[in-house]
Amino acid sequence: MTYEELVNRSLSLQRADELRESIREYLNREPYIETGFRVQDRTLKNQQRILEHYNASQDNWDDWAWQMKHRITTVEELQCFLNLSAREVEELKLITKRFRWGISPYYLSLIDFDNYQDSPVYKQAVPSIMELWDHHGSADPMGETVTNPASRITRRYPDRLIINVTNQCAMYCRHCQRRRNFGEEDKHCTHQQMEEALRYVRENPEIRDVLITGGDALLLSNKTLDWLLGELDRIPHVEIKRLGTRTPVTLPQRITPELCAIFEKHPPIYINTQFNSPLEVTPEAKQACDRLVKAGVVLGNQAVLLKGINDDVHVMKKLNQELLKIRVRPYYIFHAKQVKGTSHFITPIETGIAIMENLRGYTSGLAVPTYIINAPEGRGKTPILPQYLLSLNEDEATIRTWEKRVYKYKNYR
């Protein structure tokens, strides 16, 4: 090596050491972050216990209709698996009189039965007494009732809209923005309502992007999904179709070969799901995502920033890295919406900014979603970023890098 090459190699090695040290805290913490793959043995034991309780087989477990039929919806059922305290039982019975809840057996199996109070899965699925005490927020913080120009339509942007097709979910997330729609029973929208929504899309040629959601869009029947996607295909100005679903997280059994064959018929299809914890990234979730990718579906994740679940820079980084391994692109981190009954989940905005600071530069760009606050009254998604552009004039910009180093950068004209 020449002297210059030796100097450059020495500087490169020094820089490599600096970079490694910059993530030392994460490297020390990462082995102790539970993921769905790391705790698979525990989950399989839970599954076996649930199957024995219902006198069911593995074939039953793999059947999404069986999973839906056996959702846990009462305190008495939950007590069969978790050693609830007398106070917890009393509080849950009180909450159940006011708020509907339900958990698929699969999602229940992801809970650490021995330490359920600390489980991010338990916190998302099982109601808290704080839901009754909460008088903050609104039932409809997104203003969906005033951005509803036709049956089942929500329109907040110039070229895209939502069709809300059902209130049914495999698990009713306690932080859900549409808690007001839970109701007392599962209800899909009627064929007439779908036709009215489609008519609105046909009559508004600027609409190029349609999101089908709910509830959970994939809890419609295969026949209905095939028909609805086909109708959208026949509208010339609709370029892409999106589906909002949490089934890869809460009911991966729903992603059947038959369903994927339907998706393969109707490209391009984009699915955004909602993994909020590394514990939710399991072998079953991977199989579901593999099937969707093979069918040509493009997958994204819209995590919700939730106190006590993922409001930790290392946990969120691990979640996004686990998602990339199963070919799900982190798309958004949503600041929790100010929905009445959910304020115990809402973090300070500074928490979200700190997470973004510790993602950009510290992990793959693919693992860095956009942090979003939804503006009140349905005024749209607003990106919230750390301040990287410090000043800008005709001659130069002052920028701050991910390492907080400040540089002048020439502004060419």
- pLDDT over 80 (residue 60): yes
Q: Are residues 17 and 83 in the same domain?
A: no
Task: Answer for the pair 177, 141: CB distance below 8 angstroms, yes or no.
Answer: yes
Number of compact structural domains in the chain = 3
- pLDDT over 70 (residue 183): no
Which CATH number goes with the domain that contains 252? Answer: 3.20.20.70
Q: Cβ–Cβ contacts within 10 Å for residue 84, how many?
A: 17
Single-letter amino acid code for the residue at 56: A
Cα–Cα distance measured from residue 308 to residue 290, given in angstroms and rounded to the nearest whole number: 30
Residue 20: inside a domain: yes
Q: Are residues 163 and 226 in the same domain?
A: yes
Q: Are residues 352 and 235 in the same domain?
A: yes
Cα(first)–Cα(last) distance of the chain, in Å? Answer: 42
The predicted-structure confidence for 249-290, as pLDDT tens digits, reads as follows 999 999 999 999 999 999 999 999 999 999 999 999 999 999
Task: Give, as one character, the DSSP assignment of residue 138.
Answer: B
Q: Are residues 215 and 292 in the same domain?
A: yes
Residue 404: inside a domain: no
Q: Are residues 115 and 178 in the same domain?
A: no
- Could you please report the per-residue DSSP string of 205-256? TT--EEEEESS-GGGS-HHHHHHHHHHHHTSTT--EEEEE--HHHH-GGG--
Task: Answer for the pair 98, 130: CB distance below 8 angstroms, yes or no.
Answer: no
Choosing from 132, 166, 194, the residue where a domain stops is 132
Percent of all residues in the chain with a pLDDT value above 90, rounded to a whole number:
87
Q: Are residues 165 and 261 in the same domain?
A: yes
Rg (CA), the chain: 23
Question: What is the side-by-side strand order in the sheet with 389-392?
Answer: 389-392, 396-400, 406-410
Q: Are residues 304 and 188 in the same domain?
A: yes
Cα–Cα distance measured from residue 162 to residue 154, given in angstroms and rounded to the nearest whole number: 5
Residue 402: inside a domain: no
Choosing from 112, 132, 152, the residue where a domain stops is 132
Q: Are residues 108 and 164 in the same domain?
A: no
For residue 384 the two structure tokens come to 């919230």
Task: Answer for the pair 213, 374: CB distance below 8 angstroms, yes or no.
Answer: no
> Assign residue 215 a region: left if phi > 0, alpha if psi is -120 to 50, beta otherwise?
left
Cα–Cα distance measured from residue 270 to residue 79, given in angstroms and rounded to the nearest whole number: 39
Better-scored residue on pLDDT, 144 or 108: 108
Q: Are residues 108 and 162 in the same domain?
A: no
pTM beyond 0.85: the answer is: yes
For residue 278 the two structure tokens come to 């590394």
Map tokens 């020439």 to a residue: 410
Q: Are residues 312 and 222 in the same domain?
A: yes
Residue 113 structural domain: 40-132
- Give me the residues paired with residue 188 across strands: 166
Residue 399: inside a domain: no
Q: Are residues 84 and 225 in the same domain?
A: no
For residue 5 the two structure tokens come to 């090459």
Mean pLDDT over the full length of the chain: 95
Q: Are residues 92 and 148 in the same domain?
A: no
